[in-house]
């Protein structure tokens, strides 16, 4: 028990949004937690109706960065300093009100349906405020963690062999789960992706789902067979480890890509950025085999060629 200073920050579609902080953190806390109103509006507008009567944001003693209790989120004590440094955390915990609290996994091994979703929806919110570069920046940080984690923990996102519930909360279920949604969005396009997300929330609001239920809804909405996509990203360990090179001669740009990991041949589209005078032109190639070459007719010698300039594919670049 403690004394709080509290304030009604605003009402968003009749949902009261409040901040509860220790009296000595009053001004900083009301300012930092103020973004909760923007976040709530973004998720209601893009996902669907909020499932609870209020949204309270509370400074608290918690062993976690944040804890997404339905309608009353607890944030760690030092989350308030008046510098707006926890906007991503606030967006993550508020996203849980949709995914994790309302539409929740039916089995703990499928917790990416909560944590991967909250991770990616926090990125989506930040992208909506700060632009596409913010999405790329966040995903690149996550990519590094995923690659490091895999070296020590070569397991898939959904791994029923992990029996310790705490170990299911990992870089795999958070950051890699988020990356899966980023790749799904790229595969389906923004319009279909959001339509699918809305349909999934509508179907499983105040209910429980498995990964297969999410897959089924995304297939219904997109009309695409997503079996391979979900199998390789959720139920197969690792990611493409790519060795590649490019060369230019006789107005042909040649790109050779090879998957080095031995346990599975991933299938994915990959974008290739051709850079000249600071401008990037993007080409796409579908990788279905362990190796592939692509020749692009090009009138000019590129200054550089890069893989995945827009951060749409989870892979590891291996040096030659």
Task: Name the site residues for Zn ion (rule: CB under 5 A).
Answer: 115, 118
> What minimum distance in Å lies between the beta carbon of 183 and Zn ion?
20
In the complex, minimum distance from the CB of residue 46 to Zn ion, in angstroms, rounded to a whole number: 18
Of the pair 105, 308, the CB lying nearest Zn ion is at: 105
Q: At what angle do helices 112-130 and 211-222 cross, to 10 degrees?
A: 50
Q: How far is the CB of 172 from Zn ion (least distance, A)?
A: 14
Q: Which is nearer to Zn ion, 17 or 118 (CB)?
A: 118
Give me the least distance between CB of 158 and Zn ion, in Å please.
17
Q: For Zn ion, give the closer residue by CB, 118 or 158.
A: 118
Residue whose CB is nearest to Zn ion in the complex, by number: 118
Closest approach of Cβ 61 to Zn ion, in Å? Answer: 18
- The backbone torsions φ and ψ at residue 74, rounded to the nearest 5 degrees and listed phi first, read -100, 130
Question: Are the C-beta atoms of 239 and 315 separated by less than 8 Å?
Answer: yes
Nearer Cβ to Zn ion (113/274): 113
Burial class (CB in 10 A: 0-12, 13-18, 19+), 257: buried
Strand order across the beta sheet in which 5-12 lies: 5-12, 15-21, 55-60, 72-76, 66-67
End-to-end CA distance of the chain: 59
Identity of the residue, 97 or 259, whose beta carbon is nearer to Zn ion in the bound complex? 97
Phi-psi region of 74 (alpha: psi -120 to 50; beta: other; left: phi over 0): beta
């Amino acid at each position: 028990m403690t004394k709080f200073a509290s304030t009604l920050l605003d009402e968003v579609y009749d949902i009261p949004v409040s901040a509860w902080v220790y009296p000595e953190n009053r001004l900083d806390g009301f300012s930092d937690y103020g973004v909760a109103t923007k976040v709530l509006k973004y998720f209601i507008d893009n996902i669907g109706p909020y499932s609870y009567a209020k949204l309270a944001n509370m400074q608290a003693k918690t062993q976690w960065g944040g804890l997404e209790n339905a309608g009353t989120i607890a944030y760690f004590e030092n989350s308030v300093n008046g510098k707006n440094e926890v906007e991503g955390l606030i967006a993550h915990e508020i996203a849980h009100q949709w995914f994790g609290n309302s539409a929740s996994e039916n089995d703990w091994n499928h917790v990416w349906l909560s944590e991967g979703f909250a991770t990616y929806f926090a990125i989506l919110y930040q992208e909506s405020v700060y632009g596409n570069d913010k999405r790329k920046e966040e995903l690149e940080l996550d990519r590094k963690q995923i690659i490091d984690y895999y070296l020590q923990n070569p397991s898939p996102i959904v791994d029923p062999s992990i029996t310790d519930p705490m170990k299911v909360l990992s870089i795999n279920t958070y950051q890699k789960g988020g990356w899966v949604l980023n790749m799904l969005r790229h595969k389906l396009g923004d319009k279909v992706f959001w339509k699918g997300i809305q349909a999934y929330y509508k179907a499983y609001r105040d209910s429980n789902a498995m990964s297969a239920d999410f897959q089924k809804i995304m297939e219904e909405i997109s009309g695409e067979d997503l079996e391979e996509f979900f199998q390789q990203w959720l139920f197969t360990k690792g990611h493409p480890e790519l060795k590649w090179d490019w060369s230019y001669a006789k107005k042909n740009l040649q790109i050779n890509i090879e998957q080095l990991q031995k346990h599975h041949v991933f299938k994915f589209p990959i974008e290739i950025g051709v850079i000249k005078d600071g401008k990037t032109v993007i080409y796409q190639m579908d990788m279905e085999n362990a190796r592939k070459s692509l020749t692009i007719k090009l009138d000019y010698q590129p200054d550089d060629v890069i893989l995945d300039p827009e951060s749409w594919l989870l892979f590891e670049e291996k040096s030659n």
